[in-house]
């Protein structure tokens, strides 16, 4: 249930609305169901989604069902994290990334949005 509240399942059909048109940064966790059994969401990503609730979104994209998006964003390995802001990839990470590094990147994006747009926080 916790995952349902903090993580969006991304598909070909909702990627445009949920990621590219998002008003806040979106961290996309790219994985593949063909790479082992159904993988649960990374607990670190869930923690960050909760910590940055309202300031960013977390989405999971199963590349096995979204091959065109894997090609479009040149995803060749899993797991891959893509951090989107204003419809553009701002950061890309392949393999494991520490919680502190991700938190730092999210904090920077939120402060940049605050400075550039006069927004409170990262809204």
Residue 36 pLDDT: 65
Spatial CA neighbour of 92 closest among 81, 100, 101, 103: 81
Q: What number of CA atoms fall less than 13 Å from residue 42's CA on the CB side?
A: 23
Burial class (CB in 10 A: 0-12, 13-18, 19+), 39: middle
3-state secondary structure 20-75: HCCCCCEEEEEECCCCCCCCCCCHHHHHHHHHCECCEEEEEEEHHHCHHHHHHCCC
Q: What is the pLDDT along the chain (123 residues), one digit of tens a residue?
A: 344 457 999 999 999 999 999 999 999 999 988 876 556 778 889 999 998 988 999 999 999 999 999 999 999 998 899 999 999 999 999 988 889 998 998 888 776 554 444 433 332
CATH class of 2-117: alpha beta
């Amino acid at each position: 249930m916790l995952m349902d509240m903090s993580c969006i399942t991304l598909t070909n059909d909702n990627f445009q609305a949920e990621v590219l048109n998002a008003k806040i940064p979106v961290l996309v966790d790219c994985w593949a169901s063909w790479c082992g059994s159904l993988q649960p969401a990374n607990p670190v990503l869930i923690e960050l989604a909760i910590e940055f609730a309202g300031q960013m979104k977390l989405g999971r994209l199963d590349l096995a069902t979204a091959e065109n998006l894997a090609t479009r964003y040149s995803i060749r390995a899993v797991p891959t994290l893509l951090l989107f802001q204003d419809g553009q990839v701002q950061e890309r990470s392949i393999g494991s990334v520490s919680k502190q590094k991700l938190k730092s990147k999210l904090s920077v994006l939120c402060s940049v949005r605050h400075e550039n747009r006069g927004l409170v926080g990262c809204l």
